[in-house]
Amino acid sequence: MIRMKQIQRVLMFGGLGMSLILADSALARRGWPHGRPGGQVSRSLPTGVLTAKDLVLTPSVRDPQISPDGKWVVFVVGRSRIKQNKGHSNLYLVPTKGGRVRRLTATKKHDWGPRWAPDGRSIVFLSTRKKSAQIWRINPRGGEATQLSRRPMGVGGPLVWSPKGDRLLFTGKAYPQCRDEKCNTAEHKRRKRSKVTAQVFTKLLYRHWNHWRHGKVKHVFAFTLRGRKVQDLTPGPRDAPPIALGGRQDYAFSPNGREVVFVSNTDKLIAASTNNDLFRITVRGLRGRLRTSRPQRLTQSKANQNSPVFSPDGRYVAYRAMKVPRYEADRQRLVLYDKRTRKHRVLTESFDRSVGEVVFSPDGKTLYFTSQDRGYTPIYTVPVAGGKVRKLVKKIYARYLRISPDGKHLVFVSVASHNPAELYRVSTAGGKLLALTKLHAGLRGRVNMQTVEHLWFKGAKGHRVHALVVKPPNYRPGRRYPLVVMVHGGPQGMSSDSWHPRWNAQLFAAPGYVVLMPNFHGSTGYGQKFTDAIGGDWGGAPYQDVMKSVDAALKKFRFIDKRRICAVGASYGGYMMNWIGTHSRRFDCLITHAGVYDLRSKYGTTEELWFPEREFRGTPWSNPAMYKKWSPSTYIKNWKTPTLIIHGQHDYRVTVGQGMQLFTALQRMGVTSKFLYFPDETHFVQKPQNRLLWWKTVHQWLAKYLKGQRRGRR
């Protein structure tokens, strides 16, 4: 039976809250998954702790959009379905002042990317209701959605309205040789009819992250609502927007609708280039079509520029810019381009953090942005005229930053390690946050989760280094708990006080462990010099920081059992596990997910070559000593620690061969090891049942060495 108090809480938060809390209540009775996903149930975990099913079924909240009249926010809620082994997403509405959440769409596929029409009478969005993603439209008051586009090659986002509301910009796949949509459609149909599956490559990059490019590029298209015509605005052999290192939105209409600014990389070898630049084209309507000018390059730097945002009066284009070419982790500065003077002015040169999402105030006098800072992503503000950067909202993890039409409020999504994503509002003058949604009230009401604690210690080079600590959910003073050290990826990334849908600190802590998350040399959010420090030193200062973080945690937190310690990590974090395995016997067990094992073979199978060439000061043939020095494979004979290896077949960043090589070596040397292989996953494990298996395997491995009879380090 569901308790009456739960039902009362449900009624406070509307229909969506009801469905979520009912699901939470049902899960609370089911306990911990045992055996195959969805099969037998085990109650090995104490009640009131987070489970893998909880995590998989926790809805995501993203992409809020404020209505033109400022009264409503439409946003996306994504949910997983374990039995069907897939997810779906729908659109929801909530008043900007707070109130009842209302579901706007109901599909078992994916609805996402909502954008209000300029007149506020309709909302367009992307949907896979009929196989490929297309543009749909719905009345915000309710009713059935109608399909607008029927592009054979599909439609991508984000959607961008023209000021008059007669056109939309979107992204889509195109063929390099085609100059118009008629050619794209014909070539697409021809290839679908062909029985030949072989492909011929003549240049890099032919695959990226988790997909093959199949000889296609990405372009910006215009969709005219009257006549439903599609027009390629960036035809040719180059990706526009770029294939990598762009922002959340890399194209924009000017306020008068006569210009489009977009981002593209025109270098010959994009696999070794970060040279994204801003381009401008003029557009004007002609018999239902747009006539465009030749692209004009607005930025000249060989480094990365992206995320153009027009000022409300159209005079300025704000964008993010790096200074160092072929380096993806350089500081993102906020720059203002003045169209009248054609000059570029940096607004954040003295601000030693990278700028995230950027929005203009409606009066054009102020810019608001997010930026990583010591385990958080606060909101900052800076005057357009220039001046001091001011932190507006502290100690939050903000994403999807939006501003109200009257400029009085900011709306955004925020998370914490103990709190999944919710929608919030805050005054542009600062002050207290107002939660617009409380979708996870049921989860927080029945599951014990500890808030993050902070640990500062003297790390490598005598520098002050930061780590985050999460206690087990049922922590009791006087008891001692095993330690799990969780190392983030990137490597230029940051462990934060945030809710992660996969690498979740609360779920690592759930069986009764303390979780330690060090932000070693190379981490973001601590100044650019600290971020740069990892280059050419992958197993140096970062490794020392990880080891010193354990020493510092043991010294400060007497409740940690120093005899039971394991470490886990993915991507670069997986590399660090492999480095630890070949350089230390301190840990009782290791878990390495998508970890780099051999830098030389990894170079030949990865896609973004600018990354290893910057990190290791050249190629394996121009600087072989560096690749040999920092490859865990060089020192494999030293490995003794029991290790769980996890890898996905469709990981094209750190290919599956890295995990296979490591497993072969450990098995050959007689080191206790297990290989969890996912033939249908990428760098990330995303399918619901695979995620359940992942957590089951990980928790079993940790329990074997942290809860069983201690075997002692060899």
Relative to beta strand 355-360, strand 229-232 is unpaired
Please write the tens of the pLDDT for every residue from 474-498: 999 999 999 999 999 999 999 999 9
Contacts of 706 (CB under 8 A, 6+ apart): 482, 484, 513, 564, 566, 588, 589
CA distances from 371 to 333, 346, 398, 469, 526 (A): 11, 16, 9, 22, 11
- Residue 210 · residue 615 · CB < 8 Å: no
Name which of 147, 713, 75, 150 is nearest 413 in CA terms: 75
Residue 19 has pLDDT above 80, yes or no: no
Measured CA to CA, the distance from residue 455 to residue 466 in angstroms comes to: 6
Higher pLDDT, 13 or 681: 681
Chain segment 146-183, per-residue pLDDT in tens: 999 999 999 999 999 999 999 999 999 999 999 999 99
pLDDT class for 285, splitting at 50, 70, 90? confident
Q: At what angle do helices 541-556 and 572-583 cross, to 10 degrees?
A: 80
Q: Looking at residue 133, what is its pLDDT?
A: 98
Distance separating alpha carbons of residues 539 and 13, to the nearest angstrom: 49
Which is it for the CA torsion 489, 636, 694, 470, positive or negative? negative
- Tell me the average pLDDT across 701-714: 75
At 36, the pLDDT band (50, 70, 90 cuts) reads very low
* Cα distances (Å, whole numbers) of residue 710 to 103, 498, 713: 52, 33, 9
Torsional class of 430: left (φ above 0), alpha (ψ -120 to 50), beta (otherwise): left
The SS3 call for residue 415 is strand
680 is catalytic: no
Residue 258: pLDDT over 90 = yes
- Distance, in Å, from the CA atom of 602 to the CA atom of 620, rounded to the nearest integer, reads 10
**How far is residue 59's CA from residue 420's CA, in Å, rounded to a whole number?**
8
Tens digit of each residue's pLDDT (9 = 90 or more) over 682-701? 999 999 999 999 999 999 99
In the predicted model, is pLDDT for residue 8 greater than 50? no
Calculate Rg over the CA atoms of the chain. Answer: 26
Residue 421, Cβ density class (10 Å: 0-12 exposed, 13-18 middle, ≥19 buried): buried
User: Which of 110, 593, 683, 699 is flagged as catalytic?
Assistant: 683
Q: 3-class SS at 353?
A: coil
What is the rounded CA–CA span in Å between residue 273 and residue 50? 43
In a 10 Å sphere around its CB, with 0-12 CB exposed, 13-18 middle and 19+ buried, how is residue 42 labelled?
Answer: exposed
Is CATH 3.30.450.20 what the domain over 452-604+631-673 is classified as, yes or no?
A: no
288 pLDDT band, cuts 50/70/90, is low
Tokens 């004009």, located at residue = 296
pLDDT at 346 over 80: yes
DSSP 8-state secondary structure symbol assigned to residue 225 = T
Is residue 25 scored above 80 in pLDDT?
no
> What sign has the CA pseudo-torsion 664, 668, 670, 671?
negative
Contacts of 3 (CB under 8 A, 6+ apart): 25
Given a cut of 80, whether residue 29 has pLDDT beyond it is no
State the average pLDDT for the chain. 92
Task: Count CB-CB contacts under 10 A for residue 177.
Answer: 12
Verify whether residue 264 is a known catalytic residue: no
Could you tell me the pTM of the whole model? 0.92
Q: How confident is the model at residue 708 (pLDDT cuts 50, 70, 90)?
A: confident
Tokens of 56: 């998989």
Q: Is the dihedral of CA 501, 502, 505, 507 positive or negative?
A: positive
Residue 379: its H or E element:
strand 379-383
Contacts of 445 (CB under 8 A, 6+ apart): 6, 9, 21
pLDDT at residue number 286 = 61
CB-CB contact of 287 with 256 (8 Å) = no
Q: Which of 25, 239, 651, 699 is catalytic?
A: 651
State what percent of residues in the chain have pLDDT above 90: 91
Cβ–Cβ < 8 Å for 599, 630: yes
CA distance 594 to 388: 42
* pLDDT greater than 90 at residue 18: no
Long-range contacts of range 341-349, CB-CB < 8 Å, 24 or more positions apart?
Answer: 344/299, 345/386, 346/321, 347/382, 347/384, 347/386, 347/389, 348/382, 348/389
Res 470 pLDDT > 80: yes
Residue 392 banded pLDDT, cuts 50, 70, 90: very high
Catalytic member of 571, 601, 631, 673: 571
CA dihedral (391, 392, 393, 397) in degrees, to 10, reads -60
Active site residue 363: no
CA distance 106 to 123: 15
Residues shown for the chain: 714
C-alpha distance from residue 356 to each of 86, 267, 320, 379, 381 (Å)? 30, 25, 8, 9, 12
CA distances from 389 to 98, 380, 430, 522, 641 (A): 30, 7, 14, 24, 48
Question: Which pLDDT belongs to residue 420?
Answer: 97
pLDDT band at 47 (very low <50, low <70, confident <90, very high): low
**Among 679, 675, 674, CA closest to 648:** 679
The two structure tokens encoding residue 510: 């759930």
d(CA 231, CA 286): 12
**In the chain, what are the domain boundaries?**
4-53, 452-604+631-673
CA 692 from chain centre, in angstroms, equals: 20
Backbone angles phi, psi at 632, to 5 degrees: -55, -30
Q: Averaged over 495-517, what is the pLDDT?
A: 97
Q: How confident is the model at residue 131 (pLDDT cuts 50, 70, 90)?
A: confident
